[in-house]
């Protein structure tokens, strides 16, 4: 039986491209060579490159093909491991939809909604999900500091509406810090969101629909050594990630059930990770959903999968095989 040809797509046009490469390299190494033929494709702007034995080959974007030794290779599935633009915001998904090539992530609409924190919260406000108070602002809009504080109070978080890895996010504890935090967020995006601070424990849960069944990953607690789970805490060892989280069974089930509810409400596909704050009353507050979660060896999803009894190669094969069901 001919092997399915898999494109592992990485890089991207955002500040997260190095993180994307790290995740994609681990995924690439763990895709079963006996079952799949695989190529690593690095996207940087208009350059879509496959590097083989020191030589670079360009992808033909007209039909998403690769020519090697005058042989044209077509891909059966796109394994998208780009955090940020264009892999997490629906752009690549729309491209592959037009070419009828299946991919491992949420569809174009869901990816677009979930990538924008303000749009995602607006969408989920019609569902039974606990959401912190927030204000959305656009660049050049008049900033009324008093009105913002009246709505969300202090402390609060200021975030770019789009983007990940906590880049451009600030925790604001004093009124005098708010303007600088807003300016920092605007360096990353033209739209920002300012959210009420909810005190509590940060919990996160992976969700994956496989063979028509929802797979609920074990819950992880994130304990940051910094003010919050920022870029340094995520990627430079300034946090402790406890899997499984040391929580009671009732809270564990609530976290998994709520994550699955949000996954379904947003019409998600592939492996996603839903982040919450659990307050002192064990009420779960939605933070965000990651539709292209980190997949490096140190990332949370592989930790949760291991606790579930799934090896990394098994997880990759399940992800690809689930996506291939959309081939027709």
Domains of the chain by start residue, with CATH: 4-104 (3.40.50.20), 113-129+199-291 (3.30.470.20), 134-196 (3.30.1490.20)
Cα(76)–Cα(64) distance, integer angstroms: 10
Cβ neighbours of residue 18 under 8 Å, at least 6 residues apart? none
How many other CB atoms are there within 10 angstroms of residue 126's CB atom?
A: 8
252: alpha, beta or left? (left if phi > 0; alpha if psi -120 to 50): alpha
Q: Where are the beta strands (DSSP E) in the chain?
A: 4-11, 36-44, 47-52, 55-60, 65-68, 71-74, 77-80, 134-138, 156-160, 170-172, 191-196, 201-210, 213-224, 239-242, 272-278, 284-290
Contact 82, 48 (CB under 8 A): no
Q: Determine the pLDDT at residue 229.
A: 47
Please write the tens of the pLDDT for every residue from 53-72: 889 999 999 999 999 988 99
Residues of the chain with pLDDT under 50: 229-230, 233-235
DSSP code of 5? E
Q: Determine the pLDDT at residue 230.
A: 46
Cα(16)–Cα(243) distance, integer angstroms: 25
Cα(273)–Cα(302) distance, integer angstroms: 11
Label the pairing between strands 36-44 and 4-11.
Answer: parallel
Q: Note if the bond before 321 is cis, omega within 30 degrees.
A: no
Q: Determine the pLDDT at residue 86.
A: 93
Q: Determine the pLDDT at residue 238.
A: 63
Count helices and strands (H / E) in the chain: 10, 16
Can you give the pTM of this predicted structure?
Answer: 0.92
Q: Determine the pLDDT at residue 97.
A: 97
Q: Determine the pLDDT at residue 233.
A: 46
Cα(90)–Cα(191) distance, integer angstroms: 18
């Amino acid at each position: 039986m001919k092997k399915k040809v898999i494109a592992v797509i990485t890089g991207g046009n955002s500040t997260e491209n190095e993180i994307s490469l790290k995740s994609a390299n681990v995924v690439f190494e763990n895709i079963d060579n006996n079952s799949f033929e695989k190529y690593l494709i690095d996207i940087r702007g208009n350059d879509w490159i496959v590097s083989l034995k020191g030589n670079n080959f360009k992808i033909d974007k007209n039909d998403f093909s690769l020519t090697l030794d005058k042989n044209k290779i077509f891909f059966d599935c796109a394994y998208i491991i780009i955090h940020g633009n264009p892999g997490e915001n629906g752009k690549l998904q729309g491209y592959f939809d037009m070419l009828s090539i299946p991919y491992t992530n949420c569809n174009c609409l869901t990816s677009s909604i979930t990538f924008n924190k303000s749009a995602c919260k607006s969408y989920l406000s019609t569902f039974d999900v606990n959401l912190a108070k927030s204000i959305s602002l656009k660049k050049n809009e008049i900033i009324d500091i008093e009105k913002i504080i009246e709505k969300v109070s202090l402390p609060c978080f200021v975030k770019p509406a789009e983007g990940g890895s906590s880049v451009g996010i600030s925790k604001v504890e004093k009124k005098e810090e708010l303007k600088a935090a807003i300016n920092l967020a605007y360096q990353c995006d033209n739209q920002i969101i300012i959210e009420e601070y909810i005190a509590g424990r940060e919990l996160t849960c992976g969700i994956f629909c496989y063979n028509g069944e929802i797979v609920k990953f074990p819950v992880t607690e994130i304990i940051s050594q910094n003010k919050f789970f920022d870029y340094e805490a995520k990627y430079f060892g300034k946090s402790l990630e406890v899997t499984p989280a040391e929580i009671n069974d009732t809270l564990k089930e609530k976290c998994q059930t709520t994550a699955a509810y949000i996954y379904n409400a947003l019409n998600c596909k592939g492996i996603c990770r839903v982040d919450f704050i659990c307050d002192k009353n064990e009420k779960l507050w939605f933070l965000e959903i990651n539709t292209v979660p980190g997949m490096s060896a140190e990332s949370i999803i592989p930790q949760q999968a291991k606790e579930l009894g799934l090896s990394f190669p098994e997880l990759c094969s399940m992800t690809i095989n689930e996506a291939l069901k959309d081939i027709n």
